[in-house]
Amino acid sequence: MQEYPVKRGLTKDLSTRIATELKDCFGSEPTESGGTYRISSGALKRLDVKAGMGGKSVIIDTESDISVSDEVILDTNRRFRKYLDAVTGFSTKERVKRAKSGIEK
């Protein structure tokens, strides 16, 4: 389970954006249960996403399918990074930088 901060200004409609971006990035309609959105796509047996406490972060839990081909794994990773960029508002480089600064503190 991993928690990612969301850029200020993008937290207002976070639950709606979580579901919309799942559909846009992975091409499948998520199921919703208790505020948690779930899909299964490519190398991901399960991808659960929910808004964090206070709506200023997203919490993502995944379960991988290791029996798929390398092409499927690469495509799934590309889609997942694109999803994180869209939902959090931060690029991969910015997320890494924030994670490192959080550890140093």
Domains of the chain from N-terminus onward: 2-97 (3.30.310.190)
- Count of beta carbons in the 10 Å neighbourhood of residue 16: 9
pLDDT (tens digit per residue) in 95-104: 888 888 877 6
pLDDT (tens digit per residue) in 21-47: 999 999 989 999 999 999 999 999 999
pLDDT of residue 105: 58
Question: Which residues sit opposite 51 in a β-bridge?
Answer: 58
* pTM of the predicted structure, to 2 decimals: 0.88
Contact of 24 with 41, CB cutoff 8 Å: no
Residue 60 to residue 38: CA distance in whole angstroms: 10
67-75, Cβ contacts within 8 angstroms, sequence gap of 24 or more: 68/42, 68/43, 72/42, 72/43, 73/42, 73/43, 75/42
pLDDT (tens digit per residue) in 45-93: 999 999 988 889 999 999 999 899 999 999 999 999 999 999 999 998 9
